[in-house]
Structure 1
Amino acid sequence: MNESILVIGATGYLGRHLVAELHARGYHVRALARSRERAEGPGPFGSPSLAGLVDDWAVGDVTDPETTEGICDGADRVVSALGVTRQKADPWDIDFRANLAVLRDAERADIRSFCYVSVLHSETGTSLTVRAKTAFAEALRRSHVPHQLINPSGYFSDLTDLLTMARVGVSMHIGTGATRLSPIHGIDLAQFIVDRVPDAPGEWDVGGPDTLTYRQLENLAFSAVGKKARSIGIAPSLLGPAGWIADRVSPRIGNLTRFFSEGLVTDAVAPPTGTHHIADYFREQTNGTAA
């Protein structure tokens, strides 16, 4: 495989799995990172180190115009897993503006395709995070660069909070906990994305092999930590006041509250793929054997 792929967001949970999969399939991988040393260290939630997986390093801050100017030179395609959730950064600066800066350079360089990983149902969310993702997805659709949009239902890594609550001994859900999810492992999602990199433009929703309610996921977390399940339901009517209070604490806390609370009440089920199961992932995280 002679094509060169520029990966932005390469040091995050999904980005690391993407780099590993691209490298394994013989692509020439160029990765943008603020720190090569940090990128070559262990990744979050068991994602791999990038040591030995990157052919060409671009070191710099993706929000710096000097970094993104000419970033696509020599690349055939771009894959972006760039985005923020819990990090102390403005989603408009990262999910929208930084991705847009790379897209503008991709247009200049006339690359073959730009693949962007968004999130399922982003068009219905009210948090700053999903609004920024939706805005960039629309900019990508309007670009002359062939686009590929991937909308995962949610990552296994997002659900490690359930393990944290299970270790404490009590978990919380909204309403009856009947919201249905089909989260996907980073390895399976990376394989799905790389399968489509050489394909025609398109948009795909994707989930993992299991569809479970939030209550079922809570029970799996309690089982993984070896504790009896104890869960508290929170009335959906409290979400509005909670968001109002969070907004006044800080914009970041308000955004996170909206992002995660909306995820707790909105079904996120997409066509299944992959072989990794959330129950196994919970056990691996608990035993310290995450792949």
Structure 2
Amino acid sequence: MSLSSSPFNVFASYTPKPKTFLKDSKLLSRSHQPNSFPLQTQKPSTNLTLTRPKLKPISSLETSEINTSSSPTFRNKPANEINILVVGSTGYIGRFVVKELVSRGFNVIAVAREKSGVRGKNNKEETLKQLKGANVCFSDVTDITSLQESLQNLNLSIDVVVSCLASRNGGIKDSWKIDYEATKNSLVAGQNFGAKHFVLLSAICVQKPLLEFQRAKLKFEAELMNQKDSTFTYSIVRPTAFFKSLGGQVEIVKEGKPYVMFGDGKLCACKPISEEDLASFIADCVLEEDKMNQVLPIGGPGKALTPLEQGEILFRVLGREPKFLKVPFEVMDFVIGVLDGVAKVVPGVKEAAEFGKIGRYYAAESMLILDPETGEYSEEMTPSYGKDTLEDFFEKVVREGMAGQELGEQFF
């Protein structure tokens, strides 16, 4: 599920125990050489051969591994010789990741559906404009055979795979289809074309997995961390809340309505991060060796903010006296209880019950590092990155509206 698909948003497996990135905030420069050259069509250094795949693809069809060689020392190559495959490229974060990687001079291969965006509203021409500077590969990540055939037609080897895939809504079926199966397809296909590094956009909420999409993400994370190839590396990025997930009430508050929150508004704190800052951090993971084989929780700059504090910032930006509507948790618990009961008789209601649980989770759980010693969420342990603040975001949305911030089908 995208971090941005709940109004209360944001988002462990401890087997195996991954190393965790818990360094002080470090603002890194984004001034990189523009990508002013076309994608190089370098051929794989070995002929294509048919062998059994190292990992069984998520498909009922047998597929053959395409054995291409890619140097494990790709980090020593200039950016314009590094081929990066991005899946989930037209999602909310994926678009910014593609733009950032292109700006740093990498050769970007962006996988997209022929009709992408929320409810497939973007056609091929619009997608090409959206992913300007990248070599767009129209394919289907849910079909390993289709994905590998599309990549083979490009006649390129792959150095790095960056996955920004996330299920449309966090539902049970969609979570396993996208957060696990499609993401694994991208790993298998990338490795078959020589990839030696995988950057995964995950979610900080998997630390406390109570929902199906969290379990699907953790299953893939565990498999990624247990690769048999000792030369293969990974970076698992677990961000806190996206800005747009906290902007859903701007318009109603502008109309004079109260800011809605659950309980006293002091639960579910987060360090929200902008899409540009998160994309920059993900791009850092391509080459920075201190991010290799690491689980990397990350938040935006500044202190952690509760819903109450987020609402106060919005009212301050609007120049109005704060007005809040506090909804008891019991209301949500009652609805979830009813849906769970009905689901025992009518299985189709199970998905609706899961959506209710997602909302309940986001309303109560903080999107910060969960201290294993105390069992409490820790603002101090949660790394900060970037420069964009939530107040800056609210000011922009008040001026320009939420265009481009739509919630919905975020996964590619």
Q: Does 1:275 align with 2:391?
A: no
Kindly tell me: are residues 10 and 192 of structure 1, through their superposed partners in 2, closer, same or farther at Cα, counting changes over 3 Å?
same
Residue type of the partner of 1:53? Answer: G
| Structure 2 unaligned blocks of 5 or more | 1-78, 116-121, 369-381, 405-412
Provide the residue aligned with 1:32 in structure 2: 111
8 Å contact kept, 2:144–2:189: no
State the shift of 1:276 in Å.
Answer: 0.4
* CA shift digits 1:48-82 (9 cap, x unpaired): 9634221x221022212333225485211000010
Which structure has the higher relative contact order (CA within 8 Å, separation 6+)? Answer: 2
Q: Does 1:192 align with 2:272?
A: no
Provide the residue aligned with 1:45 in structure 2: none
Provide the residue aligned with 2:68 in structure 1: none
Provide the residue aligned with 2:8 in structure 1: none
Identity within the alignment, %: 24
Provide the residue aligned with 1:207 in structure 2: 299
Aligned-partner Cα distance in 2 for 1:27–1:232: 48
User: Which protein shows a greater Rg?
Assistant: 2
* CA shift digits 1:56-113 (9 cap, x unpaired): 2210222123332254852110000100243887111111110011112233334110
Matches within 5 A, 1:118-129: 118-129=202-213
Q: 2:247 is matched with which residue: 132, 147, 160?
A: 160
Residue type of the partner of 2:392? Answer: D
Provide the residue aligned with 1:77 in structure 2: 160
Kindly tell me: are residues 139 and 116 of structure 1, through their superposed partners in 2, closer, same or farther at Cα, counting changes over 3 Å?
same
Aligned-partner Cα distance in 1 for 2:352–2:254: 24
Residue type of the partner of 1:202? Answer: Q
Q: Does 1:86 align with 2:169?
A: yes
Q: 60-69 or 242-251, which moves further after superposition?
A: 242-251
State the shift of 1:172 in Å.
Answer: 2.2
State the shift of 1:10 in Å.
Answer: 0.4
Aligned-partner Cα distance in 2 for 1:146–1:167: 47
Residue type of the partner of 2:185? Answer: A
Q: Does 1:6 align with 2:124?
A: no
State the shift of 1:289 in Å.
Answer: 7.2
Aligned-partner Cα distance in 1 for 2:401–2:248: 18
Aligned-partner Cα distance in 2 for 1:172–1:289: 19
8 Å contact kept, 2:157–2:194: no
Match of 1:197, SS state, is helix
Tell me how many residue pairs correspond in the alignment.
285
| Structure 1 unaligned blocks of 5 or more | 43-47
State the shift of 1:139 in Å.
Answer: 1.8
State the shift of 1:228 in Å.
Answer: 4.0
Q: 277-286 or 85-94, which moves further after superposition?
A: 85-94
- C-alpha RMSD of the superposition: 2.7
8 Å contact kept, 1:79–1:114: yes
Match of 1:181, SS state, is coil
Q: 2:397 is matched with which residue: 278, 285, 288?
A: 285
